[in-house]
Amino acid sequence: MAEEVREVEQVVSRTPDGNTVQKTQRISDNRGETAHNRNVAVRVVWFITAIVLTLLAFRFVLSLLGANRGNGFANFIYSASYPFVSPFFGLFSYQAQYGVSRFEFETLVAMGVYAVVAAGIAYLVTIGSRDR
Residue 55 belongs to some domain of the structure? yes
Print pLDDT tens along the chain (132 aa): 444 445 555 666 777 777 766 666 555 555 556 667 778 888 999 999 999 999 999 999 999 998 888 899 999 999 999 999 999 888 877 676 667 788 889 999 999 999 999 999 999 988 876 654
Going by C-beta distance under 8 Å and a sequence separation of 6 or more, which residues neighbour residue 38? Answer: 125, 126, 129
Going by C-beta distance under 8 Å and a sequence separation of 6 or more, which residues neighbour residue 78? Answer: 59, 62, 69, 98
What pLDDT is recorded for position 15?
Answer: 73
Residue 61 belongs to some domain of the structure? yes
Task: Give dist(CA 31, CA 66) in Å, integer.
Answer: 52
Residue 1 belongs to some domain of the structure? no
Going by C-beta distance under 8 Å and a sequence separation of 6 or more, which residues neighbour residue 34? Answer: 129
Angle at which helices 31-65 and 105-126 pack, to 10 degrees? 180
Counting DSSP H helices and E strands in the chain, the numbers are 3, 2
What pLDDT is recorded for position 69?
Answer: 87
What pLDDT is recorded for position 1?
Answer: 41
Residue 100 belongs to some domain of the structure? yes
Residue 38 belongs to some domain of the structure? yes
Residue 88 belongs to some domain of the structure? yes
What pLDDT is recorded for position 39?
Answer: 84
Going by C-beta distance under 8 Å and a sequence separation of 6 or more, which residues neighbour residue 127? Answer: none
What pLDDT is recorded for position 2?
Answer: 45
Residue 131 belongs to some domain of the structure? no
What pLDDT is recorded for position 4?
Answer: 47
Residue 28 belongs to some domain of the structure? no
Number of domains observed in the structure of the chain: 1
Domain that holds residue 48: 33-126
